Chains A and B, each alone.
Chain A
């Protein structure tokens, strides 16, 4: 099982929207059963990223995340399924 982590500042707003839209993209790719999506705030994201294959995050927060082993992808428009899909798909290597 792969894991994707969506990150925002507080863990209650933007990361949930990004999680929701990422799940939609995965459903469209037929990958929703193979891949778990979890939301986290920036304070817990570093720890949570240890078990995640991919981290989706905004430009403003990527520096605060620091170095993690996961593939980090910056998303500009959290509502754009096209942007999420085009950036995520090459990393899924199914």
Chain B
């Protein structure tokens, strides 16, 4: 388990400017990024989509932001995050539509990633930091910003 946000989000898990055609494809891009970074198998992507089919689009937790995730399962190889920005906003059927950022989350235990979620919550709620993250033009730049922001948190 990585101790900070950037450890859980390698460059392979970052996709900037994706063009999915609907919410399932948007979650699939986030799932593929988790798989590419070695955090999950493809099955986890299906589980994330099934979670929305079952429980509704509650993963759209704030205007423009979907936190795609399912529960810990054998398809999670290690805890990880993915970060997918969308060129065209996508409707999830949520009051917080449309979505422009999908963050994928895979966890191995329900309480093993509390610190990372805490620093993620702090960054996502910080408008100034989010503006800088939206402007990041490469995965390396995005990770650099996240490392700095998570160190300055709390």
B61 touches A9 (CB 8 A): no
Known contacts A9-B55, A13-B105, A42-B55; A77 and B121 CB within 8 A of each other? no
Which of A28-36, A47-55, A59-67, A85-93 lies at the binding interface? A59-67
B61 touches A14 (CB 8 A): yes
Which residues of A1-60 are within 8 A (CB) of B? 8-14, 16-18, 20-21, 41-42, 58-60
Q: Which of A8, A13, A58 has the most CB of B within 10 A?
A: A13
Interface size grouping (class) on chain A = 20 to 34
A8, A11, A21: the one within 8 Å of B58 (CB)? A8
Known contacts A60-B58, A78-B62; A10 and B69 CB within 8 A of each other? yes
B96 touches A17 (CB 8 A): no
Residue on B with the closest CB to A17?
Answer: B121
Known contacts A64-B55, A79-B65; A12 and B72 CB within 8 A of each other? yes
Cβ distance B59 to chain A, nearest Cβ, rounded Å: 7
Interface size grouping (class) on chain B = 20 to 34
Query: B16 in the interface, Cβ–Cβ < 8 Å?
Result: no
Chain A residues proximal to chain B, CB less than 8 Å = 8-14, 16-18, 20-21, 41-42, 58-61, 64, 76-81
A13 touches B67 (CB 8 A): yes
Give the chain B neighbours of A41 by CB distance below 8 A.
71, 110
Known contacts A16-B114, A60-B58; A21 and B121 CB within 8 A of each other? yes
Cβ distance A7 to chain B, nearest Cβ, rounded Å: 10
A59 touches B69 (CB 8 A): no
Residue on B with the closest CB to A74?
Answer: B95
Q: Which of A10, A60, A61, A80 has the most CB of B within 10 A?
A: A10
Q: Report the bound CA distance from A78 to B107 in whole Å.
A: 20
